[in-house]
Homo-oligomer: A and B are copies of this chain.
Amino acid sequence: MTASRGPTRAAARDWTRRRTAKRERLEAVRPFVSGRVLDAGRMRDALHALLRPGDRVALEGDNQKQADFLAGALADCDPDVVHDLHLLISSISLREHLDVFERGVARRLDFAYAGPQSVRMAQLLADGTVDVGAIHTYVELYARMFVDLTPDVALLCAEQADHEGNLYTGPGTEDTPTIAEAAAFRGGVVLVQVNRLVDRVPRVDIPGDWVDLVVESPRPYALEPLFTRDPRHIGQVDILMAMLALRGIYERHGVTTLNHGIGYDTAAIELILPTYGERLGLRGKICRHWTLNPHPTLIPAIESGWVESVHCFGGEPGTERYVAARPDVFFTGPDGSLRSNRVLCQLAGQYAVDMFIGSSLQIDADANSSTVTEGRLTGFGGAPNMGHDPHGRRHASPAWLSLLTGEAPALRGRKLVVQITQTFRSGGTPAFVESLDAVQVAEDAGMPIPPIMIYGDDVSHVVTEEGVAYLHKATSLADRREALAAVAGATPIGSHMKERHVEALRRDGLVALPEDLGVDVRAAKRSLLAARSVEDLVAWSGGLYDPPARFRTW
């Protein structure tokens, strides 16, 4: 090799270490395996053989479905054998997810969301039991699996597998294909718990090529009906906010493509489309294409012909038969059932829809918001990804262009990022606060920056029962704060507002009160809801929707 070819290479390097390690791991579990099928009764032994201290392990804890059998086996491992694992879990949902840390099996954690375990999560962080790498938005965590956080082992879950490892995820595809791809193609071991081993899966969602081991779990995997909102709990204030949002934002900006969060406020919007929306003549003009899970509260709008398409992050228990009967609207497979995919739906929710609307627990004077409150480390989920203006977007739409921003030649539209909340939550807690609890949490936990879910400068609109604030129209920070304060009611942020300031903001179009939008506050009644109970939703679905037992009252 000539000098120009640089320094002589060091002694021949081994470039197949990951592959070799994988072969050794699979060799070590052979006593517990027949073909690709692991003996469920030997799960703990198999993990002892499979895992090495310090391994990076992706444990499937999705927004809804959970690899709970594997999580339990992991939590049960002997910390003398398996320790110092680095876990990647998108949603910390099970007790076992944190047991592994308390038992010393795992040490480091990268995650996205910790709703059901948020209090304990905060404690373990404070105690130093968990060493948190970072809190991510979902897709950011998957993205890192292809860069600096590639898993050594992936512990996943699916509905069914055949003996060649072909997987059927069923309606709740969620994160499984993405995590499997990251592990399978870089020398990681992919182990999947399935509800059933079958001779032939109804459809192949993940090729057997990508799967090393499957195990039939003694119980079907845990699955939460996170997106079911009982219309009985939707109150008049939610309905008023829904009316304000519909007239002040959806109609005004002509929002045809959108994502909805899971609150009662957005459920109210879904439920007044066939009534209030219909009377406004908005069918076909707004809300045509959606990215969201199959919300039962969307059924009346679908049945009334409002909805052309819905792409889903995951499924929703009870909607299986309904979705399968509506293939023109939902993405479904050759077997007839829903095909969801979190990474692609998050991509669609980031780049292809014009509006994100959701709630937060706390909003400050600059419209920064967070669900991290004192003693709770909730994380972010998908909100940061969908709740910001993606600067990489280049296609125009009327709604996007209606928020024209920037100076020529860098003129561009902007995504509608809407925060919707009552000024006070149940128990009289103000939603608008001087300082987010997240600031203190960050300080206590030694985080480099406060865990803010949606940054204020990404928020274009705020809706409360007082009215709509058009923050995107503010030309100064002061105006922006005033517009927000004008809809913040009697909270610490809103209470100082003078009436004449509000008048000026209304004149300038920065704030709209109900009367400015032609919304009759007295009409905000539950009779406006197309369905007032889960039973009504079942009726709308023609009996196709089967609500989970906890939502049945009849």
A contact set with B: CB distance below 8 Å: 1-7, 9-10, 13-19, 110, 133-137, 139-140, 142-144, 146-148, 150, 166, 178, 181, 184-187, 203-205, 207-209, 256-257, 274-275, 278, 288-289, 291, 300, 303-305, 309, 311, 325-329, 331-334, 339, 341, 343-345, 347-348, 350-353, 364, 366, 368, 380, 384-396, 401, 406-413, 435-436, 438-439, 448-452, 455-458, 527, 529-533, 536, 539-540
Contact assessment for A325 and B540 in the assembled complex, using a CB-CB cutoff below 8 Å: no
Q: A134-B394, A368-B409, A439-B409 are contacts. A327–B15 as well, Cβ < 8 Å?
A: yes
3 residue pairs, one from A and one from B, having the closest CB atoms: A134-B395, A6-B530, A204-B207
Given contacts A139-B351, A147-B291, A148-B288, 18 further A-B contacts (CB under 8 A): A4-B531, A4-B536, A5-B531, A10-B305, A15-B325, A19-B328, A137-B351, A143-B344, A147-B309, A148-B257, A148-B309, A204-B208, A368-B409, A384-B394, A396-B449, A401-B448, A410-B452, A410-B455
Q: A146-B331, A396-B448, A410-B368 are contacts. A304–B7 as well, Cβ < 8 Å?
A: yes
Contact assessment for B289 and A148 in the assembled complex, using a CB-CB cutoff below 8 Å: yes
Q: Which residues of B contact A408 (CB under 8 A)?
A: 439, 450
Q: How far is the CA of A392 from the CA of B452 in the complex (A)?
A: 10
Q: How far is the CA of A119 from the CA of B150 in the complex (A)?
A: 42
Contact assessment for A328 and B148 in the assembled complex, using a CB-CB cutoff below 8 Å: no
Contact assessment for B133 and A395 in the assembled complex, using a CB-CB cutoff below 8 Å: yes
Q: How far is the CA of A19 from the CA of B333 in the complex (A)?
A: 11
Nearest CB of chain B from residue A506's CB, rounded to whole Å: 27
Main secondary structure of the interface of A (DSSP, over half): loop
Q: How far is the CA of A150 from the CA of B257 in the complex (A)?
A: 13
Specify the chain B residue showing the minimal Cβ separation from A447. B396
Q: Which residues of B contact A275 (CB under 8 A)?
A: 6-7
Nearest CB of chain B from residue A5's CB, rounded to whole Å: 5
Contact assessment for A18 and B449 in the assembled complex, using a CB-CB cutoff below 8 Å: no
Q: Which residues of B contact A351 (CB under 8 A)?
A: 137, 139-140, 143-144
Contact assessment for A527 and B13 in the assembled complex, using a CB-CB cutoff below 8 Å: no
Q: Which residues of B contact A345 (CB under 8 A)?
A: 146
Contact assessment for B187 and A529 in the assembled complex, using a CB-CB cutoff below 8 Å: no
Contact assessment for A352 and B291 in the assembled complex, using a CB-CB cutoff below 8 Å: no
Q: Which residues of B contact A4 (CB under 8 A)?
A: 527, 529-533, 536
What are 25 A-B contacts defined by CB distance under 8 Å? A1-B539, A5-B536, A6-B300, A14-B328, A15-B325, A16-B327, A136-B395, A139-B351, A140-B351, A144-B348, A144-B351, A146-B331, A147-B289, A184-B334, A187-B328, A204-B208, A347-B347, A366-B410, A388-B391, A390-B391, A406-B457, A408-B450, A409-B435, A409-B439, A412-B455
Contact assessment for B140 and A393 in the assembled complex, using a CB-CB cutoff below 8 Å: yes
Nearest CB of chain B from residue A24's CB, rounded to whole Å: 15
Contact assessment for B343 and A17 in the assembled complex, using a CB-CB cutoff below 8 Å: no
Q: A394-B136, A531-B4 are contacts. A352–B256 as well, Cβ < 8 Å?
A: no
Partner of A140, one of B18, B304, B395: B395
Contact assessment for B135 and A395 in the assembled complex, using a CB-CB cutoff below 8 Å: yes
Residue among A16, A339, A449, A450 facing the most chain B CB atoms (10 A cut-off): A449
Contact assessment for B147 and A328 in the assembled complex, using a CB-CB cutoff below 8 Å: no
Contact assessment for B393 and A257 in the assembled complex, using a CB-CB cutoff below 8 Å: no
Specify the chain B residue showing the minimal Cβ separation from A9. B303
Q: Which residues of B contact A256 (CB under 8 A)?
A: 148
Q: How far is the CA of A532 from the CA of B5 in the complex (A)?
A: 7
Contact assessment for A146 and B344 in the assembled complex, using a CB-CB cutoff below 8 Å: yes
Contact assessment for A391 and B458 in the assembled complex, using a CB-CB cutoff below 8 Å: yes
Partner of A15, one of B328, B339, B364: B328
Contact assessment for A135 and B204 in the assembled complex, using a CB-CB cutoff below 8 Å: no
Q: Which residues of B contact A450 (CB under 8 A)?
A: 408-411
Q: How far is the CA of A289 from the CA of B148 in the complex (A)?
A: 6
Q: Which residues of B contact A309 (CB under 8 A)?
A: 147-148, 150, 186
Contact assessment for B147 and A257 in the assembled complex, using a CB-CB cutoff below 8 Å: yes
Contact assessment for B394 and A311 in the assembled complex, using a CB-CB cutoff below 8 Å: no
Contact assessment for B329 and A15 in the assembled complex, using a CB-CB cutoff below 8 Å: yes
Q: Which residues of B contact A449 (CB under 8 A)?
A: 396, 401, 411-413
Q: How far is the CA of A10 from the CA of B451 in the complex (A)?
A: 48
Q: Which residues of B contact A7 (CB under 8 A)?
A: 274-275, 278, 304
Contact assessment for A392 and B278 in the assembled complex, using a CB-CB cutoff below 8 Å: no
Contact assessment for A327 and B187 in the assembled complex, using a CB-CB cutoff below 8 Å: yes
Q: How far is the CA of A3 from the CA of B2 in the complex (A)?
A: 87
Q: Which residues of B contact A409 (CB under 8 A)?
A: 364, 368, 435-436, 438-439, 450, 452
Q: A13-B305, A18-B327, A344-B178 are contacts. A333–B209 as well, Cβ < 8 Å?
A: yes
Nearest CB of chain B from residue A198's CB, rounded to whole Å: 15
Q: Which residues of B contact A142 (CB under 8 A)?
A: 344, 347
Partner of A146, one of B352, B384, B413: B352
Q: Which residues of B contact A9 (CB under 8 A)?
A: 303-304
Q: How far is the CA of A348 from the CA of B448 in the complex (A)?
A: 22
Q: Which residues of B contact A390 (CB under 8 A)?
A: 388, 390-392
Nearest CB of chain B from residue A530's CB, rounded to whole Å: 4
